[in-house]
Amino acid sequence: MVDQTVVLLPRTTAFTVVCQACAALDERAEHAAHIAQGAMRLEHDLGWTTCPHGHRIRVIRAGAAVAAEATSPLW
């Protein structure tokens, strides 16, 4: 299992990332098929998104006081 965390800049609300768990499983490295997208409101500092294959990705906001929950395991 890959523990994935995306760190957003302070004013970012939407993002697109490559799912590292999918990329690790794909020997052909066709990362375009492993794109995860998400959004997080400015008032939130911690969130989650899921890639199309079901891998969870933690999202935290840079510069925010993130609770201990952000360092806990994914499940």
| Domains of the chain, residue spans | 5-71
Q: What is the mean pLDDT of residues 6-10?
A: 93
**β-bridge partners, 72:** none
Here the tokens at position 8 are 């957003």
User: pLDDT at position 12, please?
Assistant: 94
Here the tokens at position 57 are 């990705």
Here the tokens at position 74 are 């994914």
Q: What is the pLDDT of residues 25-48, one digit of tens each?
A: 877 766 667 889 999 999 999 999
Note whether 4 and 27 are within 8 A (CB): no
| pLDDT at 65 > cutoff 60 | yes
User: pLDDT at position 66, please?
Assistant: 59
